[in-house]
A and B are shown apart, each in its own frame.
Chain A
Amino acid sequence: METKQEKPATPFKPPRLAASAALGTLNEIYYRDLANAKQQGRPVVWITSMTPIELVYAFDGIPFFPENYAALCSSRKVAEDLCKAGEARGYSQDLCAYALCTFGVMFEKRGAFGDEGPPAPDILLATQGACMTHPKWWEAMQRHYKCPMIIIDAAYTVDSDTLSPHHREYYASELKETVRLMEKYTNKKLGADKLREVVTFSDQASALWDEIDEMRAAVPTPISQIDVFTCLFALVTLKGTKEAVEFYKQLRDEVKMRVDNKVGFVPNEKFRLVWDMFPIYHNMRLLNYFAEFGAAFVTDLYGNAFSGRLNVADPYGSLADRYLSFFMRAASWGKAELYKKRIKKYHVDGIVFHSNRCCRCFTAEQPDIGNILRDELGLSSLMFEGNMVDPRGYDDTQVKAKIESFIEMLEARKYPKK
């Protein structure tokens, strides 16, 4: 390639969102509430992503996401030690690093801030709907904490092509069984009004998230992928609360203002990209490296898996629809279809696959998704290996070299020299 990409001497720093201050406050309040949960008589429910968090808030519980916490450990650079502690107990380094890091936290009673870590679970709640790691990981934690565990059966649907009405009915009956068990374990009755309120807040947060997601289609795109991953915290952990709705209203207004004023987060946006799947929490700044070449991530599907509209008139039915049909459950061609729509709508030039070495479930189909997008749309792709949580084995120099040649290729395709 004849042209070497120009990049500024100092690393790129995106403009800060005003809403991130509000997010910081939400974060603080959440961790304070979590620490005080036992004193306040609120059950601490350890929960996996893609498990209906709405039920936890409906019981006035505090959900705790080990996945989210492992990400926090990773960004605070303590994940490697915690993963090693998990390995010392016989758990393989090949396992999901969210799980491995949590095993470290669990066995060593050591947290992200050099503290004792999160309060032990009163209830372990999981689903088989996303991956098989979730139930097996939860079983391992149940053997340690010896507390009640509820696993919602969603193992059966293989992809959204085969989702049929009796799958929804079975899932809805699993939700009702979950409620029955939660009532037993928490000694509280679920109020229909409370469930409706939580479902309404959850739906509103999702609607706002979708609105923000739509606005990313603007040229230039208003917010960074780091903003998206960071702001996802409220959708993952606080969905079903009023606070999450208020936060996303503020974020939506801020993003809208940027769009109305044509403010992009990258000056001179040259390329528009899609990020596939997990962030690299120990090296989030890698996303900014793309920006140094004028490349912006304008959409992703990962974040949207946490958003899902609900119908307050039919809480169980709509929860079943929502938690059985998020994009991760689609077959490769189903995922590619979703990307194809976005690639047109968001004016995308290329896709970046983070081949997450500890996650077979969501890396196995990545090559084929790339193949489909190449064959049908001629889309360029970059794939590199990493691990979302554990920094061991990650080669930053090599990854950056790959990014540079990918950008050169995009440059040659999009802005050919005469």
Chain B
Amino acid sequence: MKHSEFAETYRNRHKLAEGWKKSGKKVFGYFCNYTPEEIIYAAGIIPVRIRGGSENIELADTHLPSICCSYMRSALDQALKGKYNYLDGAVFPKSCDMTRALYSIWKRNIKISYYWNLPIPGKSNDAAVDFYIGELRLFEESLEKYTGKKMGDDSLKQAIKLYNENRALVRELYNLSLRDDPPLSGSEMFEVLRAGLVIPKEEHNAMLRKLLPALSSAKGSQDGKVRLMIAGNTFETVELLQAIEESGANVVVDDVDIGSRYYFSSVNENEEPLRALSERYLRKVLCPCKHNAQHRVYHILKLAKDYQVQGVILLTQKYCDTHLYDRPWLESKLKEEGLPVLVVDHSDIGWVGGKFKTMVQAFVEMVG
């Protein structure tokens, strides 16, 4: 098993999903780290992350202004082009203003038989956790109605266990980057992580179980490179990680939505399942749309220390409001702690490699 097989899996994700459909499975698309996938999985449905891309927008502009983030514009464009025709359902958690608005835009323009709008509180205190348990129950009931089958605590517990196994395996992978000579580069790691968003967790786990032993004994490919961290939100452009590597650096850890923010925190298996899910999603997923910047500063500093990071790239998707409000302060706090910071505005659509590389090269020279 090689990391390139994960990249292959991601590239073929639409074909794979169509294959599952042919074998009688249901497939739901979802947005955002705040979707409690375990519940969808427990209903016997395969959850896949709806992703965008870097291709030019052809159809979405008549429905969505260009001041919206390239992720949402591109995902809508792909759906309008029919790439997501296989979806049986779509779940929109209320996290940022974009997921709120895109729910109605998708529902009106993309023909999918099941839509769910998942309310998420903006706090994570006990009252919010209790409130959210109620919402998760409503979601569960709605899925039971959709499938015609009772879910039961057992299937939910099994799903939680499977997802936690996946998180633990990915954590092992990250642990390899603690070494002075990480066996995977940041871009290779990205492919491994990204594949996990679009295939059933048992398949990702099987792939990881084959990959891990080979990597543990492998000699590091990233020896002596400047160790960087990337923090921000979602992106599709794996080339930007490659550009970093070509500049003599390597991303050894991240705080991005499809990386550690998605994979690191597990669900407490000793608690009542919905309570455990409510606590995990409200308290452990540190996205600025639900959490004060203070939380993320601690989190980033801890990761930076653990992974012996020499610099941080704050990569923000253009037009992502919640990240943009936190960024100036985040930058100043990290610098105060002695961490060099490079601030980058990013858009998957129209990404200019040369410009990015020039910035990164200067940064790597400075911190190296």
Contact = CB atoms under 8 A, between A and B. Distances in A.
Interface of A: 89-92, 94-96, 99, 128, 131-133, 135-137, 139-140, 143, 151, 153-159, 161-162, 166-167, 170, 173, 177, 331-333, 355, 357-358, 360-361, 363-368, 371-372
B122 interface: yes
Contacts of A366: 65
Nearest to A156: B119
A332 B104 contact: yes
Contact of B98 (A99, A355, A360, A372): A360
B324 A91 contact: yes
A162 B134 CA distance: 13
B117 A158 contact: yes
A90 B121 CA distance: 29
Contact of B321 (A133, A154, A357, A368): A133
Contacts of A372: 108
14 contacts: A90-B343, A91-B328, A99-B325, A139-B326, A140-B328, A156-B120, A161-B117, A162-B119, A170-B127, A333-B104, A363-B65, A367-B63, A371-B62, A372-B108
Nearest to A365: B101
A360 B68 contact: yes
A257 B67 CA distance: 44
Interface string B165-195: 0000000000000000000000000000000
Contacts of A332: 101, 104-105, 108
A156 B289 CA distance: 12
Nearest to A157: B119
Nearest to B318: A94
A29 B169 CA distance: 65
Given A132-B97, A140-B325, 19 more contacts: A91-B324, A94-B67, A95-B325, A128-B122, A135-B122, A139-B326, A153-B122, A153-B128, A155-B120, A158-B94, A158-B103, A158-B119, A166-B131, A332-B104, A361-B97, A364-B105, A365-B101, A367-B63, A367-B64
Q: Which of A131, A155, A361 has the most CB of B within 10 A?
A: A155
A140 B323 CA distance: 12
B311 interface: no
Nearest to A163: B119
Nearest to A130: B97
Interface in B246-266: none
B105 A136 contact: no
A158 B62 CA distance: 23
B18 interface: no
A159 B108 CA distance: 14
Interface string B97-115: 1101111110111000000
Contacts of A358: 67
B96 interface: yes
* Minimum-distance CB pairs A-B, first 4: A90-B328, A155-B122, A136-B325, A156-B119
A284 to B, nearest CB: 22
A363 B102 CA distance: 11
Nearest to A143: B329
Nearest to A93: B324
A336 to B, nearest CB: 10
B329 A364 contact: no
Contact of A132 (B96, B107, B131): B96
Contacts of A361: 97, 100-101
Interface residues of B, number: 51
Most chain B beta-carbon neighbours within 10 Å: one of A89, A131, A136? A136
Contact of B103 (A153, A155, A331): A331
Contact of A155 (B68, B94, B127): B94
B312 to A, nearest CB: 15
A159 B122 contact: no
Contacts of B127: 170, 173, 177
A413 to B, nearest CB: 22
A368 B105 contact: yes
Contacts of B313: none
Nearest to B333: A143
B322 interface: yes
Nearest to B331: A90
A355 B61 CA distance: 13
B100 A158 contact: yes
A360 B131 contact: no
Contacts of A140: 325-326, 328-329
A366 B322 CA distance: 21
A95 B320 CA distance: 9
A364 B292 contact: no
B322 to A, nearest CB: 5
A360 B70 CA distance: 13
A96 B322 CA distance: 11
Contacts of A89: 328
B103 A159 contact: yes
B356 interface: no
Contacts of B118: 158
Interface in B329-368: 329, 331-332, 343, 345
A386 to B, nearest CB: 12
Interface string B40-84: 000000000000000000000011110110000000000000000
A156 B131 CA distance: 10
A132 B322 contact: yes
Contact of B97 (A95, A131, A170, A357): A131
Contacts of A166: 131, 134
Contacts of B97: 131-133, 360-361, 364
A331 B121 contact: no
A276 B273 CA distance: 45
